[in-house]
Amino acid sequence: MTSTRLEELLGADAATLLEHQCTTVAASDLHLPGPDFIDRVWLDSDRSPQVLRNLAALRDSGRLGGTGYVSILPVDQGIEHSGAASFAPNPIYFDPENIVKLAIEGGCNAVASTLGVLGATSRKYAHKIPFVVKLNHNEFLSLPETYDQIMFSSVQRAYDLGAVAVGATIYFGSPESGRQIVEVSRAFEEAHRLGMATILWCYLRNSAFKVDGVDYHTAADLTGQANHLGVTIEADIIKQKLPELNGGFNAIKVGKTHKLVYENLTTDNPIDLTRYQLLNCYMGRAGLINSGGASSGESDLAEAVKTAVINKRAGGTGLISGRKAFQRPMDEGIGLLNAIQDVYLNEAVTVA
């Protein structure tokens, strides 16, 4: 992707995003992605040689292999969002093999999906692209509707089908979060013992996070704290939604914060807000990947590229984007995934 094309996709935000320089926390203070990331950051940790090998396998695959950045295709939406809502726009993805094919042909580092999807394809593909088994899910077939994460798979099953990593979600702030923290912490401990890496979807979930018509579920300060809890249970990679605002602690009157978070460590620029998320990932020791979000139609390409630019310039590790890719014809989905990867391959897009 040329710089001119990148600027076209960013539109009115081009200068704000491409020319911004962080004055909050310097890039030199961060643990930034790079070809030597595992040796530079993880070698002195308690991660075993098997975990390091699988982290390397994930980082060394696909078009971004060897750069330190990752592009992951996540397709676990058939559980929480229903198979109909997820795959009716493009029914070929009811077949798990097409999900894996999209990840491979789209140049992704890995494919993250359910036990069913990856179990149905493991003998044919587990040695061709790294598998990430998503262990827990929220399901909406029960009445009344509940927002909870339930274990659908075991770590042992993920290991048996050849996964290099397991993933899980915790709904921080929800009434069930205490149980989820214990469940996922134990699962991650077992995964590391078996040599697999761990990825945590660090999401917030509580109706009280909406105050006076403002939704703070994506506030930088709250999502940053969720990230900090995630790395505490040894998530190797943190998945987080892109921050859209700030000031959640003060608005919802929960927990503790500090005025310097808002005066010195953040600004209104989305790159600075995302950098604050990264600070809470042990300054980047655990890679921060932002989610691509729901499909909006014609604006998907521009939105995905914008998210990639923000993540990269903040010091993040990559993008995990699903619905924008699989809810369209496969060739278009491949093109969108490649456009995301092109941002990380573009040396002109630097860390701010």
Active site residues: 239
Q: Under a CB-based contact definition with an 8 Å cutoff, are residues 175 and 204 in contact?
A: no
Neighbours of 19 (CB within 10 A): 8
Task: Please give the radius of gyration of the chain, using alpha carbons only, rounded to the nearest integer.
Answer: 19
Angle of helix 220-232 relative to helix 270-279, nearest 10 degrees? 30
C-alpha span between 225 and 238 (Å, rounded): 12
Contact 137, 79 (CB under 8 A): yes
The CA distance from 91 to 164, in Å, is: 28
